[in-house]
A and B are shown apart, each in its own frame.
Chain A
Amino acid sequence: MKSAARWIEAWNQWWFPQSTGLRLAVCRIVVVAAQLFVFMPFFQPSLAEHLVLLRGPTGFVEPQWMIALLAAIPGAGFVFTPIFMTIAYFATIGAGASTLVGFRTRVSAALFALGTWFFVSHAYSYGEEHHAEAILAIFLLLLALSPSGRRLSLDAVRRRRDAGAPGTVGTAVWPLKLVQLLLAWSYLSNGVAKLAFGGLEWMNGYTLQTYMLQDALKWDLPLGVWLAQHHALCVWLSVATIVFEMTFVLAVFVRRVRPAYLAGGAMLHLGIYLTMGAIFFQHIVLYACFFDVERGAAQPSGRYSPSSAGHSP
Chain B
Amino acid sequence: MSDLPTTETTVTRRITAFLLILWALHVVPVVQEMRGPRQTTWPVMAWGMYRYAHRPPVEITESRVSVETTGGGRRVLEPQDLGLQSYGFQRLYAGPIARGDTATARMLGNRFRRATGAPEGDIEAIVVLSIRYRLTGAGLIADTTFGRFPYESP
Q: Closest CB of chain B to A165's CB: distance in Å? A: 22
Q: Cα distance A131–B48 when bound, in Å? A: 10
Q: Which of A56, A131, A135, A210 contacts B60 (CB 8 A)?
A: A210
Total interface residues in chain B, CB < 8 Å: 57
Asked whether any CB of chain B lies closer than 8 Å to the CB of A267, the reply is no
- The answer to the question of A201 belonging to the interface, with a C-beta cut-off of 8 Å to chain B, is yes
Query: Does B84 touch A at the CB level, under 8 Å?
Result: yes
Judge if A55 is at the interface, Cβ distance under 8 Å. yes
* Residue contact B47 to A186, C-beta cutoff 8 Å: yes
B12 touching A56, Cβ below 8 Å: no
- Tell me whether B11 is interfacial, beta carbon within 8 Å: yes
Chain B minimum-CB-distance residue to A123: B85
Are A55 and B10 touching (Cβ within 8 A)?
A: no
- Contact between A53 and B83, CB atoms less than 8 A apart: yes
A310 touches B8 (CB 8 A): yes
Stretch at the interface among A97-105, A150-158, A188-196: A188-196
**Once the chains are docked, how many angstroms separate the CA of A189 from the CA of B55?**
23
Q: Would B53 and A202 count as touching, CB distance under 8 A?
A: yes
The answer on a CB contact under 8 Å between A129 and B18 is no
CA distance A191 to B87 in the complex (A): 23
Query: A206 to B50, alpha carbons, bound, how many Å?
Result: 12
B51 touches A193 (CB 8 A): yes
CB of B22 to closest CB in A, whole Å: 7
Spot the interface stretch: B35-43, B66-74, B119-127: B35-43
B64-96 contact mask (Cβ, 8 Å, vs A): 1 or 0: 000000000000000010111111110110000
Q: At the interface, yes or no: A35 with Cβ under 8 Å from chain B?
A: no
Total count of chain A residues near the partner, CB < 8 A: 71
Q: Is the CB of B56 within 8 A of A61?
A: no
Complex interface: chain A residues within 8 A of B11 (CB): 171, 309-310, 312
Report chain A residues within 8 Å CB of B44: 134
Q: Which of A123, A199, A217 contacts B62 (CB 8 A)?
A: A217
With A and B bound together, what is the CA distance between A218 and B62 in angstroms? 8
Tell me the smallest distance from the CB of B125 to a CB of chain A, in Å: 20
| B residues in contact (CB < 8 Å) with A | 1, 4, 7-12, 15-16, 18-19, 22, 26, 30, 33-34, 40-56, 58-60, 62, 80, 82-89, 91-92, 111-112, 114-115, 133, 135, 139-140
Q: What are the 5 closest A-B residue pairs judged by CB atoms, nearest first? A: A56-B83, A193-B48, A127-B88, A198-B53, A57-B115
